[in-house]
Amino acid sequence: MKKILLLVLVFLSVQTYGVVIIQNFTPESLNSGDATFFNGSPTLSSDGSGSFLDLPTTVSNHSKLMEVALLDAGTLPTDTPTTIRLDLNIDSLTADNDLLIVLTDGVDALGIMRFDNGGGGMHPQEGAVSTVDTIGAGLTTLGDIRMPFSSQYSIEWVLDTTTSVKGIMSGVEAIPSPSPSRVINRDAALNLVFMNNNNTELYRIRSFTATVTNDALDPVPEPSTYLMLLLGLSGLLYRRQR
């Protein structure tokens, strides 16, 4: 009996460590302290599709709109690759829809700017964080990947000995070429920075979710896997009792 219980505990502990953290950011949570805003106060409201947060416009191009603390220093494992995935639902209330989102460790920045020109696409970009608490306009573009535009899309960063980034929009993956030269320090505190491309843009945040996964560990199994395990163990217990 003890061996069977130990097997269950080992199975559950090994199988559920794939996901390090899942964090849901809502308009309410962002407005209540989950985010820092740089150009005045955002507007929290709702419509038939639910609540939303309108970010204020800026006086200049390539400016920070919002910064979100994602992970504290020392949170991530240091010996295995880690994937950080953002699933976003963010629209624009103006003609321009060129939102840039970067992951930064306070020194380096690596992210993707989506754009709606010519049917849509993504610009993977990298650069350095300046000492005046902004990300400079001189970010390096790592490619011009065309894909159908959507307000719902995803960004993935893989942190290893190098750092890679890709965007996923309308089922198409945007992978930069050449590869980024910047390496995000996984031991540092990691933040997400939301930036505009020009000062006429007005963004409406519906929601976004950050999922951090340790790639060296098994993902959480399907419920059917647990069911099969429990049925098998029940049979063993029944047999032992007989």
Residue 193 has pLDDT above 90, yes or no: yes
Query: Averaged over 19-23, what is the pLDDT?
Result: 89
Going by C-alpha positions, the residue among 120, 114, 94, 175 that lies closest to residue 142 is 175
Residue 15 has pLDDT above 70, yes or no: no
The pLDDT assigned to 87 comes to 97
Map out the domains of the chain with their CATH numbers.
19-217 (2.60.120.200)
CA distances from 33 to 44, 82, 209 (A): 13, 26, 16
Amino acid at 37: F
The answer to whether residues 143 and 164 touch, using CB atoms and an 8 Å cutoff, is: no
Residue 156 has pLDDT above 90, yes or no: yes
pLDDT band at 242 (very low <50, low <70, confident <90, very high): low
Q: What is the DSSP letter of 119?
A: G
Please give the Cα distance from 242 to 239 (Å, whole number): 5
Its pTM stands at 0.80
The answer to whether residues 116 and 97 touch, using CB atoms and an 8 Å cutoff, is: yes
The pLDDT assigned to 77 comes to 83
The pLDDT assigned to 233 comes to 53
Please give the Cα distance from 84 to 116 (Å, whole number): 24
- Token pair 């003609």 is found at 95
pLDDT band at 231 (very low <50, low <70, confident <90, very high): low
Q: Where are the alpha helices (DSSP H) in the chain?
A: 2-15, 27-29, 223-241
